[in-house]
Amino acid sequence: MLLITCPWCGPRDETEYHYGGQAHVPHPEAPSDLTDEQWAAYVFFRDNPKGPFAERWMHATGCRRWFNVLRDTATHEVLTTYRLDEPRPGGTR
Amino acid sequence: MADTGITALRSSPLAHLADRMRAAAVTGARGVTLRELPFLHMVNVRVDPSSAAAGRIETALGAPLPRRCGDTTASGPRTVLWLGPDEWLVLSRSDEAAASREALGQDPGSVVDVSANRTTLELSGPSARQVLEKGCPLDLHPRSFGPGRAVSTTVGPVAVLLWQTDDAPTYRLLPRSSFADYLGRWIVDAMSEFGGPEVL
């Protein structure tokens, strides 16, 4: 069980949250100009790093806000959490 | 209060369980009671807390909008519960949505009567905290949770707004109406062990 700190509600059990996949995936500027391969890359292809990974979570049974979590995929350690309007700590990826 | 007109026809989400909840009451040192508080008025308020409209709504409510998770503010029979950074639930005994809606005016935000969305269960007595601790992931110990605190969490598998009102302790649980039957039966079952002697 992960203990995730919601930026608004504080530490709560993982069961209160909903997972939302990789964070910081920019929506294409002009989706209609993309080739099928480029669109598929945007929709389906995600990073799969071993180590720190920025991902979106939503506090489903709490404040129902989306926020970002930096989690180590190898150890499951939650490194930090931050709001959607804050940059990823320690640079972008 | 004599109900007249349309209100005489309504039935609460837990009316059919009233007898079972009453029969489940435990008295004495390990006492715990459960009952429904039907038909409380609830108004969902969403507004930017730094806006002028938020100030007008606070004036209309007679209480500030709490700014942090878990905080509540009260003004007479009215209580404002924090739901999110720009979202609150106003509980009261009478219909007061109009005043807040007028205070919001044409500014961005919303004031919606959600009275039928949830019902209210009141769990009270020396064993109430132990009953909840069977299925609530929150730390309900007095060092971290006490009267005047209200948070959204889960009890059993049901999402509820959990609000402690006094030191008895008394808790109010606000589940969605459609989950109230399940939660009521879940709590009645959780209360049953306190009717017998403590097993060590």
What CATH number did the domain enclosing B125 receive? 3.30.1360.120
Domain membership of residue B95 (yes or no) is yes
b/e map of A22-44 (b: 16 or more CB within 10 Å)? bbeeeeeeeeeeeeeeeeeeeee
CA distance A35 to chain B (A): 39
pLDDT at residue A69 greater than cutoff 90: yes
Which ipTM did the prediction report? 0.85
Chain B environment of A11 (Cβ under 8 Å): none
Task: Please judge whether B159 and A61 are an interchain contact, meaning their C-beta atoms are less than 8 angstroms apart.
Answer: yes
- Chain A residues with CB under 8 Å of B152 CB are 9, 61-63
Q: What percent of chain A has pLDDT over 70?
A: 97
Residue A38 contacts B where some CB pair is shorter than 8 Å: no
B169, part of any domain: yes
pLDDT category at A91 given cuts 50, 70, 90 is low
Question: Both B34 and B130 in a single domain?
Answer: yes
Question: What's the confidence (pLDDT) of residue A15?
Answer: 93
Contact A9, B69 (CB under 8 A): yes
Both B84 and B179 in a single domain? no
Domain count, chain B: 2
Range of the domain at B144: 14-38+119-193
Q: Do residues B136 and B98 share a domain? A: no
With 60 as the cut, is the pLDDT of residue A24 above it? yes
Domain boundary at B79, B95, B113, which? B113
Q: Is the pLDDT of residue A53 over 90?
A: yes
Say if residue B67 is in the same domain as residue B84.
yes
Residues of A in contact with B83 (CB under 8 A): 63
B55 and B22 share one domain: no
What pLDDT sits at residue A84?
92
B108, part of any domain: yes
Question: Residue A19 pLDDT more than 70?
Answer: yes
Other C-beta atoms within 10 Å of B101: how many? 18
Q: What residues of B are in contact with residue A4 (Cβ under 8 Å)?
A: none
Q: What is the number of H-type helices and E-type strands within chain A?
A: 1, 6
Note whether B85 and B32 are same-domain residues. no
Last residue of a domain, one of B113, B147, B170: B113
**With an 8 Å Cβ cutoff, are B69 and A9 in contact?**
yes
- Give the per-residue pLDDT at B153: 94
- How close is the nearest chain A Cα to the Cα of B177, in Å? 16
DSSP B23-90: HT-B-STT-BEEEEETT-EEEEEE--TTSHHHHHHHHHHTSPPP-STB-EEEETTEEEEEEETTEEEE
Whether residue B154 lies inside any domain: the answer is yes
Q: Establish if B51 belongs to a structural domain.
A: yes
| Shared-domain flag, residues B126 and B29 | yes
Q: Check whether residue B26 and residue B73 sit in a common domain.
A: no
Could you tell me if A58 lies within 8 Å of chain B, comparing CB atoms?
Answer: no
Is B87 within the bounds of a domain? yes
CB-nearest to A15 from B69, B137, B151 is B137
**Chain centroid to CA B151:** 10
* B198 within some domain: no
Name every residue whose Cβ is closer than 8 Å to that of residue B157 and which is 6 or more positions away in sequence.
B135
Last residue of a domain, one of B113, B137, B159: B113
Q: Is B150 exposed, middle or buried (0-12, 13-18, 19+ CB in 10 A)?
A: buried
**H/E element, B166:** strand B158-166
Which residues of chain B neighbour A5 with C-beta distances below 8 Å?
Answer: none
Q: Please, what are the domains in chain A? A: 1-25+44-93 (3.30.2270.10)
Q: Residue B49 is part of a domain; what is its CATH number?
A: 3.30.70.1520
The first and second tokens of residue B150, run together, are 């209200």
Q: Do B69 and A10 touch (CB under 8 A)?
A: yes
Best B71, B140, B153 residue to mutate vs chain A (most A CBs within 10 Å): B153
Residues B153 and B189 in one domain: yes
CA distance A62 to chain B (A): 5
Residue B74 belongs to some domain of the structure: yes
Give me the tens of pLDDT residue by residue for chain B, a chain 200 residues long: 556 778 888 899 999 999 999 999 999 999 999 999 999 999 999 999 999 999 999 999 999 999 999 999 999 889 999 999 999 999 998 888 899 999 999 999 999 999 999 999 999 999 999 999 999 999 999 999 999 999 999 999 999 999 999 999 999 999 999 999 999 999 999 999 999 888 87
Same domain, B97 and B45: yes
* pLDDT at res. B7: 80
**Per-residue pLDDT, A92:** 52
Residues B131 and B84 in one domain: no
Assign A89 a pLDDT band (cuts: 50, 70, 90): confident
Domain identity same for B160 and B129: yes
Q: Residue A2 above 70 pLDDT?
A: yes
**Contacts A62 to B, Cβ<8 Å:** 69, 151-153
On average, the pLDDT of chain A sits at 93
